[in-house]
Amino acid sequence: MKPWEKNIRKVEPYIAGEQPDNKNMIKLNTNECPYPPSEKVTEAIREIEKNTAMLRLYPDKTMAPLIRALARFYNVEEDMVFAGVGSDDVIANCFLTFFNSDKPVLFPEITYSFYPVWADLYNIPYETPHLKEDFTIDTDDYIRENGGIIIPNPNAPTSVYMELGEVEKIVRANPASVVIIDEAYIDFGGESAIELTKRYDNLLVVQTFSKSRSMAGMRIGYAIGCRELISALNDVKNSINSYTLNYVSILAGEAAVKDKEYFDRIRKKVIETRENTKKRLSELGFTYPDSKTNFIFATHKAYDMTALFNYLRDNNVFVRHWDNPLIKDYLRITIGTDEEMEKLFEKIKEFMEK
């Protein structure tokens, strides 16, 4: 070992879904939206192209146009909104800001695999309560002493949604802890906890532009909570990097939020395709938790899911699979276009026949 190596922080990094760049591939492995963003986003970018001299300046560190649009969309005050470079950046700032107790932070044993990475990176103790056999959360597991709570709702990769009353039960029972509800997929089903932020000052709700707003490449995430939580988040952000979102992302994000008609139309289309996909998977003997997301977490008693994953991959159809013993018998299938799902089913049937 070289003398300086002993001072390097050692972590097991988060492993994102594969990002292939194959010709004619069907990419159903990273939960991106299969449709382009609103035309209003394109128009905003074209306007920026006419005034590229602005790019020589730092962007507005308050992100005022985007913050204002989000506040109006969700009917909250502007000082209740925080934005960052994707929800990953927002949640990483939340871990730094709110999880500073010697008591363990709580999140489910099967969940977004970035949570334990952040906890290890920032030396935050944590515990992971078991899910029930049907992948649902037992709310009683989160009503005990803790240093904070973070729960995705709907959960990933299981796709399971927890009713808002159960979310409120956890928030109400933990007045001494910050409870974060990660709602990356809430726009595809279920009821957001944002309204609860007006009644509970220990609740923070995080959402993203990467799924329902078709803007994963723009990297925009945001959080909504009481002004004290948002102020604390901004203090931490400004101690790391004041200019988190770039000029283009701020104005493109603003344009996306203002086009509610397109937002609703795309959500509806993804949901329709999801419901049709669930029906067709059932007809082929697959089972899955009832999805409220833009993906399905599916298994089949008669077939090896690792073998199916590899067969699909060899045929240029990419879905997600984990080696985790708790979920190795499942595939996470992102909802694509109707044409992409047809190709998926064609290859699944080929695999079954072989």
What are the residues facing 317 on neighbouring strands? 26
Tokens of 32: 């991106």
Q: Where residue 223 falls among pLDDT bands split at 50, 70, 90?
A: very high
Residue 135 has pLDDT above 90, yes or no: yes
Q: Where residue 10 falls among pLDDT bands split at 50, 70, 90?
A: confident
Tokens of 172: 């109400």
Using a 10 angstrom Cβ sphere, with 0-12 exposed, 13-18 middle and 19 or more buried, the burial of residue 1 is exposed
Residue 236 has pLDDT above 90, yes or no: yes
∠ Cα 91 16 110 (to 5°): 65
Full DSSP string of 236-297:
HHHHH-S--S-HHHHHHHHHHHH-HHHHHHHHHHHHHHHHHHHHHHHHTT-B-----SSEEE
Residue 24 has pLDDT above 90, yes or no: no
Neighbours of 61 (CB within 10 A): 14
Provide CB contacts within 8 A for 71, sequence distance 6+.
Answer: 77, 78, 80, 81
Q: What is the pLDDT of residues 243-283, one digit of tens each?
A: 999 999 999 999 999 999 999 999 999 999 999 999 999 99
Q: What is the mean pLDDT of the chain?
A: 96
What is the sign of the dihedral through the CA atoms of 337, 343, 346 and 350?
Answer: negative
Residues 81, 223 contacting (CB under 8 angstroms): yes
Q: Where residue 6 falls among pLDDT bands split at 50, 70, 90?
A: confident
Neighbours of 309 (CB within 10 A): 22
Separation CA 237–CA 243 (nearest Å): 9
Q: Where residue 61 falls among pLDDT bands split at 50, 70, 90?
A: very high
Q: Where residue 344 falls among pLDDT bands split at 50, 70, 90?
A: very high
Tell me what pLDDT residue 218 has.
96
| Best CA proximity match to 161, nearest among 187, 127, 194, 130 | 187
Separation CA 76–CA 72 (nearest Å): 7
What's the whole-model pTM score? 0.95
DSSP code of residue 223? E
What is the sign of the dihedral through the CA atoms of 62, 65, 67 and 71?
Answer: positive
DSSP code of residue 76? -
Residue 18 has pLDDT above 90, yes or no: no
pLDDT mean over 284-292? 97
∠ Cα 106 291 200 (to 5°): 40
Rounded to 10 degrees, the C-alpha dihedral 322/345/274/308 comes to -10
pLDDT mean over 310-317? 97
Residues 330, 299 contacting (CB under 8 angstroms): yes
